[in-house]
């Protein structure tokens, strides 16, 4: 079985869109400083690097699945991500794949032969942390100033960091 590092997309790999808005084209992607070197570090340490992302913009009809897949493909190539799983459903759909449920992580476990107990979930929201915990992963919450400071009150990650550089000291 393989070890994986699961990354949330918007807020960890690329800068999150303003609240209530969505990334709808690859030109809107702005990679978080240090993400390329962090992904390279994980891969050289024997981890698969997998993005798991809620994309309810599809369910809202703002973008097609094909366009989200093209954005995710571009992101994976540019940053060196092994795979991207996404949930296209609305929050009210109560699907099994939408974080905070762990469906995308369980799917990766099955398809990619992942050992979730030796894997990590890195996110910038309580829903990311909860999904990782439900899957049995260790968790890291990335706090980005005031943008998501309230997330510290809503979850209990294994580790709390304020920059991607700090993660290399935690995950080996």
Is 10 an annotated catalytic residue?
Answer: yes
Q: Considering 8, 128, 144, 158, which one is annotated as catalytic?
A: 8
Is 128 an annotated catalytic residue?
Answer: no
Cα 157 to Cα 151: distance, rounded to the nearest angstrom: 10
Q: Considering 10, 93, 115, 124, which one is annotated as catalytic?
A: 10
50: tokens are 């997998």
Contacts of 47 (CB under 8 A, 6+ apart): 2, 3, 4, 5, 119, 120, 171
Q: Active-site residue numbers?
A: 8, 10
């Amino acid at each position: 079985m393989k070890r994986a590092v699961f990354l949330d997309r918007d807020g960890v790999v690329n800068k999150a869109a303003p609240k209530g808005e969505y990334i709808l084209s690859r030109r809107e992607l702005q990679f978080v400083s240090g993400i390329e070197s962090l992904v390279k570090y994980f891969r050289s340490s024997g981890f698969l690097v997998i993005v798991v992302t809620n994309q309810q913009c599809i369910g809202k009809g703002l973008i097609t699945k094909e366009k989200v897949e093209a954005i995710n493909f571009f992101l994976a190539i540019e940053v060196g991500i092994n795979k991207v799983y996404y949930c296209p459903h609305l929050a009210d759909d109560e699907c099994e794949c939408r974080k905070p449920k762990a469906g995308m992580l369980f799917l990766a476990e099955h398809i990619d032969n992942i050992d979730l107990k030796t894997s990590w979930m890195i996110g910038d929201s309580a829903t990311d942390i909860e999904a990782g915990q439900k899957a049995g992963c260790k968790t890291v919450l990335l706090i980005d100033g005031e943008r998501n400071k309230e997330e510290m009150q809503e979850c209990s990650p294994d580790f709390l960091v304020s920059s991607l550089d700090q993660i290399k000291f935690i995950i080996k």
